[in-house]
Amino acid sequence: MANSKAAKTDVQTHKQVSVAEFFEKNRHLLGFNNPAKSLLTSVKEAVDNSLDACEENGILPSITIQLSEIKAGRFKMIVEDNGPGIPKKHLLSAFGKLLYGSKFQTNGGKQGRGQQGIGISSVILYGQLTTGKPAVLISKTKKDDQAHMYVMHIDVKKNEPEIVSDEPFDWSDKPCGIRVAVEMEAKYVEHKQSVLEYIKQTAIVNPHAEITYISPSGDRLDFPRVTDKLPVKSRLIKPHPKGVELGVFKRMLKATSARTIKSFFTKEFDKVGGGTANEIITIANSSIEDGNKTLPEAKRLKLIDGKFSPKYITPDQVEALLLGMQNAKVSRPSLDCLSPIGGGLLRKSLESEFDLDFVHTITRSATVYRGNPFQIEVGIGYGGELDVDGAIKLIRFANKVPLLYQEGACALTQSIKKNNWKPYGLSQSSGSFPTGPAVIVIHMASVWVPFTSESKEAVSGYPEITKEVKLAIQECARSLQRFIGRKRRSEIEAKKREIFKAYSKEVAQAVTSLNEADAYKLTKDQIEKKSLDTLKKLNKIAESMYSTGADIEALEETVEVLEEQEEKAAKQEVEEKQLESEREEEEELMEEEK
């Protein structure tokens, strides 16, 4: 009887929770760790949505971000764009339902800022959790005669949007777009991980975007677009055989409309033709035959025929086919699913944001990790007004989104620290950032960026990724090394000219001494020796400057002392010669007297 009651109680304590309820309790997983970070995360998610929507529809983005302080510890965020707008039937779910969106792909896909369908709805969830206030959405599409304003919040138990009010809104000056307003508990800061820093970095990797920022104090900052050319539009691709895992492969076999295994491979996968499909099946059958050798006849697996229906493939045959996919020679995935910034635009963006003496950018050729295409871009800027004594400034991006947190946990950061920067002209302690007046930008573009957490703040260290980052960094660093070398040689030459110019009087005196009345008595060898002695003296002065670090003025006294010593030595030599001559004369007289 007691056991029966315990079992009943145990059943009553088990219940299913919605994804909204889960993230409400675990908001730190989405980047809402503290008030300052929560404000930054909210702005980031809203801006990401706006940029993606504009690019998808061929619109040059114009985005306005406004923050206002309602009272101590509470802020209102308004983000408005000129995007296509969203029809009502999708708008409420897109903003009021977690894990709802158009960007999530199990495999394949294309490059985009969002991946999970969580972003903007999590902002609304955070706002209603900390203030109890609903979000206000205004949307207008080109087909709409009038905009609509929706006041809504999220039903956490059901993970569904709930409309508080829906009414027309006069937005006659705007053909289309979206405005989202959310009130939230927040803290406004101005440092490395601030909203302003995020906007500055967003402008660097999105040179086609025009961004206006209005701070809580009312200050307006405009970030004009650097180019009127939209980035290359990424194309949706099918999954690649090298990147599919067993569970996903099983689901694909069940869901396919293909009638045969061979057509399943050619229809559902990227870069798989008839020949590659046959190779996959052949490798799978070889694996089955090897396994059958140790099995009794009754338990042996049937070999796979390319004409078999995918619906009737056994679990063991599925594993054999997966082995065939992993070992067959399959071409690299299609690369038009990526949309890199491009070296030229990255250079322009760096030059517009920083005052630099040198900029070099590189876009590596696309490659793959786990079947997912990705591309690495790196830019290095040097000199100008950058801090000479402090650590270099590192700016990380993934799919054109700034990564401001978890710098130490990011593979992009580790690649910088592990590189030896001393040969390239920058100082560096072991295992730390290099120091010097430099800024380094690293951008990873991929159909699926392997973030370390749902908050999308750091990139995981897959060997293929770290290798590409290392090669890109080293290529840029070699260019920096050449620039620093040329600059230092130029400085040395300039300093030499200063030295010789300052001591031109020495040269003039030496030349004058050759033109004195008795100069005709000097032989050619003696003239050359005098000139050579003067040159040696000047070189000695220059070398002394480089070794001691002294400037021209500091060496004036040293040179005067040297000259006095030389004059004394010369005078002493003359006196000694005179004494010697006198002694010789005396000796001659004594000889004559004898």
pLDDT score at 96: 84
pLDDT of residue 455: 77
What are the extents of the domains in the chain?
Answer: 19-223, 241-327, 343-486, 502-588
HSE, CB side, 13 Å, CA atoms: give it for residue 520. 1
SS3 521: helix
Provide the 3-class DSSP secondary structure of residue 213. strand
Segment 48-64, tens digit of pLDDT: 989 989 998 999 999 99
Model confidence pLDDT, tens digit, residues 378-390: 999 998 888 888 8
pLDDT for the residue numbered 511: 61
**Confidence (pLDDT) at 93:** 86
Give the mean pLDDT of the chain.
Answer: 83
At 141, is the pLDDT very low, low, confident or very high (cuts 50, 70, 90)? Answer: very high
Q: What's domain 241-327's architecture? A: Orthogonal Bundle (1.10)
**pLDDT tens digits, 235-283:** 888 888 888 889 989 999 999 999 999 999 999 998 899 999 999 999 9
Q: Higher model confidence: residue 488 or residue 583? A: 488
In tens, the pLDDT along 158-178 reads 888 899 999 999 998 899 999
Predicted confidence (pLDDT) at residue 481 exceeds the cutoff of 70: yes
Please calculate the CA angle 126-97-113 and round it to the nearest 5 degrees. 80
pLDDT band at 180 (very low <50, low <70, confident <90, very high): very high
pLDDT score at 370: 82
pLDDT band at 213 (very low <50, low <70, confident <90, very high): very high
Selected residue with higher pLDDT from 17 and 369: 369
**How far apart, in whole angstroms, are the C-alpha atoms of residue 500 and residue 264?**
80
Percent of the chain with pLDDT over 70: 80
- Bridge partners (DSSP) of residue 64 are 80, 212
CATH node for 343-486: 3.30.230.10
Share of the chain above pLDDT 90, in %: 42
Give the residue, 134 or 501, on which the prediction is more confident: 134
3-state SS of 254-321?
HHCCCCCHHHHHHHHCCCCCHHHHHHHHHHHHHHHHHHHCCCCHHHCCCCCCCCCCHHHCCHHHHHHH
Q: Say whether pLDDT at 517 is over 50.
A: no
The structure's pTM equals 0.73
Question: Higher pLDDT residue, 321 or 159?
Answer: 321
Which CATH number is correct for 19-223, 3.90.79.10, 3.30.565.10, 3.90.1580.10, 3.40.50.720? 3.30.565.10
- DSSP symbol at 456: -
